[in-house]
Structure 1
């Protein structure tokens, strides 16, 4: 009998064997003793190269592998005899050997590798945390989203904010081979915590709000709340906000018929949401929608006999949302409602706007002036104030090359 170890714990009665991270160890059982094979590397190489005919059955492949292991002195003839008897016993019990799969086989339960589809049942993430005392005060998590695949700026964001949060989680299309570092002052600090949304899921930032939902659904503990921030937002984290309430830079804007509503992900998506809620039997969504409607009533966005469905179809309001905060107390509601919006491809500025109308939230004193438009974007260093909670946009790419841009 042969066993391959990938840790140092061993089987019952097997000698403990300390090993490197990428080295495998083989052990052969002789009688009641396990003997570590010193030429395990050769066995691994043999198994890696070994192939069986595509026309053979699984049973014949097992017998061939056993025979080849004997011929290469990795097993004894007695092992081969035992394997033959074992296979005969299986057949005597009625076992049917499954068909072999070829290289074209697609596992229907495997995670999607299609980076052009929103139908994702499993995604790449990396999360590494320091051990903390659970009795210590909770800390917020900072989620930094990029509308496009991440390339440069991760290290700069880490240096600015990482010491002040339980974790920074980068969200968006994450391809390690595309990450670029310029110098040691802005190079990426490892480990990096990230959650991958492919370009179709992110769609140039149309559904960036889904990042916070994905992080919430990880079930992290000891989290005070979740900051969502675009990668080109400056966050003055010394500014005091009420961590028990939702925070948004400017809140609800009552602009009628804004351009967002006329796009594919505006009114059309809202109609899809309204139609879906009529026949929805998911208790979590029904509960979230009820709270949504109660919130709209409480804050007087709907009156009398009006419903949440009516408000969704009025093409009313927007909220520019490159920075906002969700306390843990509101995170379940946010994640449920916003996932529902995401599944119907509701646009970022409209989805956050709808959520804000249903909750008690605070806004920044600077408010709308936190956002720079048109030519003002090039004057960010003159318009910036330490009294702001945040400012958008300040493009990180401007600081890539050493020089006067970094000294602004």
Structure 2
């Protein structure tokens, strides 16, 4: 190891300390300067918002240089939203379209916003005028987009309520939203190039959060990627048709982690409307990305987060010179890493107001040559304009990000569920290929062949040319009472083709990883203590809380063998149950079923109902009315085997609410599921599955002899026990697994 003179080391250390001191003093001086600026309280210009027309809560802001596009006309027809279109010098002078408010250059000058004078023509930043106009007209939510984007969900999937449950990324430094939604080899414009090959975390935390203040929906088709991607992974004259996992749950980015987001399909809640400002001194291809990183760092000061949602829009791009784009994106390639390091190390004075922090960071970014002084002046005038139109400045929270660690503010729940989340991988865009590497049917065939390599398996050729039945609109939840994760290998062979959206749930994430990593099995897992299976319904409750975009949730015990080929005729908007409901009573004569009289039975049910009534009397009354109608009793409730249950998404909110109460009072699984079902749906509307139960007559040792291909399920099937039996492997390889292929009849 090389040795350096003590004098040299002292000089270096001294220089570093001096640099840190200068930066600290600069920060403090800037904070003091901007604090004094606000303390002076300059005379507020008179602004009469009534002159702009009636107020409206939800606004869409675009700028354009073209005549009204089909996409802008589509935006104007979305119920409940107002559209404002900001003109530039190339915009047709007499631009007009129904249901759109058009701000031509003359009108922009007459609005009374100080910022207008600092926004050059020919600049994407002129959208700023539209933001101010919408805020002045009472905007509580602003959706920003471009004139070639079309939201496919009518903006219904953005999160507008104050709180939401979901998964927050639990990795470090960077979050790639394209990976989160099934494209691990893609990256959004502005993602640090030197980090593309880094190992990434699939760790998340599930709980209830304050809704993300800024939300971006992903875009299918030709999403926002940099010129390097388009020059190397796309045919020159071919339109991209990228798809993302539309069923995956939203991903929330916490303080301390960065992710690029653009201005093309992005929603800002009221507490983040200050973050809409677009800088003017960067290039067009840099401005919204730099704005996004600037905003993220400031979100940490107000306890806000950034969220990414499944694809809800489609974009087509005209072919143009990607080399020209690359020139404009130069700072994204070579300055992003330096910017993120600067932002991680940046701190705002503890006593500064939030807007003081906004100005201080803007000035410090200019001092470090990320943009120019003109953008600092623009930030000043922008904040003055916000105050003038009555926008409420956010309060700073006690959360601090210092020395590489994030300390969450008070109010963050400590009841967390650990999740390892893996999306469904999508087809990769590659410049030159003739091979489809993502055919789930062929992967399924290969898995069966490998598992059955020592048997006389013969797969019929006709099965390989038929369309397979998949249930991509259903989340399959496989629940383990105990950590028998060695069964995952076979369960994946059985279900992976038919259920792209799968989730395993049970105790011990580390045990699950130890078993599945050698299998190269990438599948989502939720770590939940379900008390040896007594509270297995908590798995469905947690899975629902992740907010997958599916039509329903199918709970299956790991020892339940489903005949997947018989499920395609079942209606996804109705409840499926495995047997007739068996009636219990809380008083008088009732069954001697052991669980009724345990601490998890009648006692837990009564205490659950007591809390239910106290928490939400209206919902409780509706629940009891339906339950009493089904039982024809005032004190009746149900039990039934609950190893396979399907709940449609329309009942998700009810299920989460009621079963949280059941879990708290430790109500047994085989009472919780049927009692919930009988309290929200009339029995004549249920779908009863056909199946066979192998209980205590010894037949469970010979599951292969009781198998019936024409029913929906067989339970219990102890996989390890069956595979160790004389004909167990033969049963799976020559009878059951071939039936999972399309068109096979045995």
TM-score, normalised relative to structure 2: 0.38
Q: Is there any run of 5+ residues in structure 2 with no aligned partner, and where?
A: 1-117, 119-124, 126-186, 191-223, 231-257, 263-277, 288-327, 428-469, 585-589, 732-746
In structure 1, the partner of 2:561 is 234
Distance 2:537 2:508 in 1: 17
In structure 2, the partner of 1:196 is 526
Aligned-residue offset at 1:272: 0.9
Distance 1:125 1:183 in 2: 14
Aligned with residue 644 of structure 2, among 319, 323, 341: 323
Residues 22-101 of structure 1 mapped to structure 2, 5 A cutoff: 29-30=280-281, 36-38=329-331, 39-44=334-339, 46-48=341-343, 50-52=345-347, 57=352, 73-74=369-370, 78=373, 82=377, 98=396, 101=399
In structure 2, the partner of 1:107 is 409
Aligned-residue offset at 1:291: 0.8
In structure 1, the partner of 2:227 is 18
Distance 1:270 1:249 in 2: 21
Distance 1:36 1:64 in 2: 26
In structure 2, the partner of 1:207 is 535
Deviation larger for 227-236 or 139-148: 139-148
Q: State the secondary structure of the residue aligned to 1:144.
A: strand
Deviation track 1:82-115 (CA, whole Å, cap 9, x = no partner) reads 489679979x989798476435743345464645
Aligned-residue offset at 1:23: 9.1
Q: State the secondary structure of the residue aligned to 2:599.
A: coil
Aligned-residue offset at 1:322: 1.4
Distance 2:472 2:395 in 1: 54
Q: Is there any run of 5+ residues in structure 1 with no aligned partner, and where?
A: 10-14, 117-122
Q: 1:83 to 1:259 in 2, by over 3 A?
A: same
Distance 2:282 2:501 in 1: 52
In structure 1, the partner of 2:593 is 258
Deviation track 1:106-163 (CA, whole Å, cap 9, x = no partner) reads 33454646459xxxxxx886665989xxxx9997653322335795544532321243
Deviation track 1:182-204 (CA, whole Å, cap 9, x = no partner) reads 698x642x5x4x473632xx333
Q: RMSD in angstroms over aligned alpha carbons?
A: 5.6
In structure 2, the partner of 1:12 is none
Q: State the secondary structure of the residue aligned to 2:645.
A: strand
In structure 2, the partner of 1:386 is 708
Distance 2:341 2:497 in 1: 49
Aligned-residue offset at 1:271: 1.7
Aligned with residue 603 of structure 2, among 260, 268, 273: 268
Q: State the aligned residue count.
A: 363
In structure 1, the partner of 2:672 is 351
The answer (yes or no) to whether the contact 2:488–2:516 under 8 Å persists in 1 is: no
Aligned-residue offset at 1:232: 2.1
TM-score, normalised relative to structure 1: 0.61
Aligned-residue offset at 1:268: 2.1
In structure 2, the partner of 1:291 is 626
With a CA cutoff of 8 Å and minimum separation of 6, indicate the structure with the bigger relative contact order. Answer: 1
Q: State the secondary structure of the residue aligned to 1:157.
A: helix
In structure 1, the partner of 2:167 is none
Q: 1:250 to 1:62 in 2, by over 3 A?
A: closer
The answer (yes or no) to whether the contact 1:205–1:348 under 8 Å persists in 2 is: yes
